[in-house]
Every structure is written in C-alpha cells, then in structure tokens.
Structure 1
Amino acid sequence: MNDKYCIEDKLTQFIHDVFLNLEYKSWRNKLFNFEVDRWYSLIVELDKSQVALNHIKEFDEGIYSKLVYRCIRSPNWKNTGEIMIVFNVSGMIWSSIVFQTPNIK
C-alpha cells in the first residue's frame, strides 16, 4: 500500500479514536466553546486540555504540526446545537468531518 494512503488511513483512525476514547474527553468538552470558523492546531489544543500527546506524536512532526481543525455550525445547529468539526493537514488533500452534538443533561 502506498505510504500516502497508509498515513491517511492512520489519520482517519486517530480522529475516530479522539471522539471515542475517554482520554480526549476534556478536549471534546471544550469544542462548543471554540470560535466558529477559526482554525486551531490540534496538538496545541490537546496540550492545553492536558491530554497525553503520545498518540498524536506517533505521526511525523511534519504531519502532527500541520493537523488543524475548525468548528462550524451544522445545518441542523438551530434545532440540535450540533457542530461539524473539520480536520485537515495543511498541504494534504486528506480531511475528515465529524458531527458532534452537545451532551444534554
């Protein structure tokens, strides 16, 4: 398999894990507080949330240092509060979109 596709598969799996693993919960809880339509560095924001960085640093620095995301109000935002989190690596075609609805208590 081409290394490019292998990296893209690993990035997709990593983003999947970020939304399922409890170790990232403190970062996920802050998603609704980020400015809409502004790009953020994922590694910087994970660090600010005191999340262990060992998993993201399994990628080369040229990848994890360029892994960014932004929060956008989804088309259903008015009804559900749902946002879309768009992930991208600057300079790559790869991207991933995750829909997140706030926890309603």
Structure 2
Amino acid sequence: SFCKSRWEKYSEYGEIVSIYFLPDYIGKGYGRLLLNKCIKELKQCGFSKVLLWVLEDNHRARKFYEKNGFIYSEVFRDDNISGKDIREVLYFLV
C-alpha cells in the first residue's frame, strides 16, 4: 500500500506503507516489480520524493530497498506492537 506521507515533517513525500510477500514468492523479482509500480503511481500523483519505514532488524528488506535506490536516513522510531518493542528506520528515494 502507498499514500501521501502520513508524517507532517515529510508532507511533500509519497509513502510506501507496506509490501509483503509469502516466502515462496520472495527472490523471484515480484518485489522489484511491485516497488517500481508503487513509485510510478506515487510520481503520477505528484510526489517526486518517496519514503518508507522498515523494521531495523529486517536486513533482507533493507538490502532490497538499498539495492533499489533507497537511502538509509539514520532516522528511527521506536514502537511497541502487541507487547514487543520494535524499531523502524526511515529510507528515502529522492
């Protein structure tokens, strides 16, 4: 899913909220196709810059986004989901 950034500080950005695949579909190029489609749609909506948050410990996803041009910003946010502490890190595509 994607939308206008939900973060006031980044209101001029489009945001990729989530991309998920079942394990059998990872590593087959579908993620890149879907990511590129989201970016294209956001650009058609007038967003020249895109951001996304990813779990800090999700190294596979982070490598995927970096391989596809996203830059780690060193900005993070901490949250608690169902009693589990998590940290998400922010990536930009400009």
More strand by share: 2
Under a length normalisation based on structure 1, what TM-score does the superposition of the two structures give? Answer: 0.28
Which fold has the larger relative contact order, with Cα–Cα distance below 8 Å and residues 6 or more apart in sequence?
2
- How high is the TM-score relative to the length of structure 2? 0.30
